[in-house]
Amino acid sequence: MKPGNLRPMLPVEEPLTNDSGFVHEVKWDGFRALAYLDGSYVFLQSRGGTDLSRRFPQVAACLAAKAWQGVLDGEIVALSHRGVVDFSLLRSGSSASSVRFVVFDVLSWEREILCPWPWSKRRALLEDLALSEGVILLSPLLPGSLAENLTRAQEQHWEGVVSKHAESPYLPGVRSRWWRKHKIRRSLDGVVVGFRWRSRHVRSLGLGLYLSDGGLCYVGSVGSGLGQREREFLEDAAGLLSLEVPPVVNPPADAGSWVWFKPHLVAEVEYLELTPQMRLRHPAFLRFRFDKVAAECRLEGDGR
């Protein structure tokens, strides 16, 4: 099959009221990739259609050594030294020794199109291939109910759980209810350390958390979820709280575009994770916490 002809099937973010007939997998936190295989020729295609083969040559080389013919679907991930999936390693480019290609579906094999097959039959083929060698892993299935696995995902700090119906066909490029994704969203209360301007309007607010040594650590900005009322409130608050210098020990590189605040306001946000670089991933504003004082917003687990 010619590279670029297909796009991966996508899940919908919709809860399951009844998970009968569904199987559950980890929602991997990496780069989605289709692997086109023709003997020693390998083309790794991103979800958007770009070539990932040069960026992840170790994956391409491992697949080329198999001399397979087909198209696999999976996720390129990076593992930390503790064996935990860490998306920040992929983005930083420092993940060469820890990259894995986690395979969870097959679209064609030995020139036969398998997309009309039910998921259970495609999975059986993957299990017969003995995929888990070198940097290639077969995505494990999770035992138990969806509720149990969501609890496990929360405890293990996974991005979430994907549920797939055992009878599901593979629908290239389609976001389908045959597959459901359940993201684990966390929340925290942070100190509002200021806001950024864009065309003389509030673009986003900045958040900080107190370290054990008393320093205030900048952990990122959030614009998603901010309504007009909240933006106008921040502009009004600048008259009482503005500072000429950043109140944080690690101000962002674009500090000149900020209006800085005295540590007083508290905002609650939801997010996917706090990266090892102390940055919130995909934060969204929920509300201001007028019932909480800034000093209570501390970085959990800070050992300094």
Nearest-angstrom CA–CA distance, 115 and 10:
14
Nearest-angstrom CA–CA distance, 13 and 8:
16
* CA–CA distances in Å: residue 227 to residues 191, 258, 260, 263: 19, 19, 20, 22
Nearest-angstrom CA–CA distance, 237 and 159:
35
Bridge pairing between strands 201-210 and 186-198: antiparallel
Please say if 262 is a catalytic residue: no
Q: Is 49 left (phi over 0), alpha (psi -120 to 50) or beta?
A: left
Query: Could you tell me the two tokens for 102?
Result: 């986690």
Strand segments, DSSP code E, in the chain are: 10-12, 22-26, 31-38, 41-46, 69-78, 99-109, 112-113, 136-138, 141-142, 160-165, 175-183, 186-198, 201-210, 216-222, 242-243, 258-261, 266-271, 273-274, 280-281, 284-288
The catalytically annotated residue of 2, 27, 66, 181 is: 27
State the amino acid at position 229 in one-letter form.
Answer: R
Under 8 Å between Cβ of 145 and 134: no
Report the SS3 class of residue 13.
Answer: coil
- Which residues are identified as catalytic? 27
